[in-house]
Amino acid sequence: MSERKPIDSWLTDMDGVLIHEGVPIPGADAFVKKLRDSGKPFLVLTNNSIYTARDLHARLKRMGLDVPVENIWTSALATAEFLDDQRPGGTAYVIGEAGLTTALHDIGYVLTDHEPDYVVLGETRTYSFEAMTKAVRLIRGGARFIATNPDETGPSTEGPLPATGAVAALITKATGKQPYFAGKPNPLMMRTGLNAIGAHSESSAMIGDRMDTDVLAGLEAGMRTFLVLTGLTTPEEIERYPYRPSEVVDSIADLVDRV
């Protein structure tokens, strides 16, 4: 097997890697500073489509993590880029928050419930039964079904919350139509992110805390993968998967000197 190229660019998940329930993980500030000082291309990724990149920049800065807006890549942005490539200037009925609606407005999409080209499902803390019913009827009427990410649950201080993947399953059951998921583990999100920073997969690394999204997405995009143990995955769970990360480390602090 040919030797891997040195890592010239870094992609890292946000929740479980840099922050946990609104608190920075020790070493995250040093890692972000090292990335910025190095001048290497990097992206902070999240499957959460609720917030815009500007929102996330402000939230991270309040925690002491100074990540420029252009270095944040969300499943909403990946979804918008996919739709802009597939059907420029199209129309969509959207269930989601500002992160998703802003991304679609920015590519010139018209948001409507009148014969839309797509139904686009994203993350929200207030899923409406009325909105889901409308989505079901539009999809049964011919609209194409897109979802930002397949995560079935999301974190909160009170415990897990139903997320996009769980609501997508409900809509699928009522329509017989599976959505196209744009976010991780779809390598599309990784490739569009790499393109955004002018990086190449063979010299890039993906850091994440989940085997089923972060590691799988990095692996399928041809990147080196690092799994941190500060999020959802335990060492015992790694062995249950038919694939492995390139390396397992305790936390992001262990990767500061690798930049």
Is 66 noted as a catalytic residue in this protein?
A: no
Structure tokens at 115: 């014969």
Structure tokens at 160: 């897990």
Q: What angle do CA 92, 126, 24 make, to 5 degrees?
A: 100
CB atoms within 10 A of CB 66: 13
Whether residue 179 contacts residue 152, with contact meaning beta carbons closer than 8 Å, is answered with no
Candidates 22, 11, 7; CA nearest to 71 is 11
Choosing from 15, 29, 151, 209, the catalytic residue is 15
Choosing from 13, 117, 209, 214, the catalytic residue is 13
Is 254 noted as a catalytic residue in this protein?
A: no
Paired strand residues for 145: 119
Cα dist from 168 to 62, 70, 134, 176, 216, whole Å: 33, 29, 13, 11, 21
CA 168/CA 53 separation, integer angstroms: 24
For residue 146, give every residue at least 6 positions away whose Cβ sits within 8 Å of its Cβ, in sequence order, or none. Answer: 79, 82, 83, 92, 118, 119, 120, 121, 179, 180, 182
Q: Which residues are catalytic?
A: 13, 15
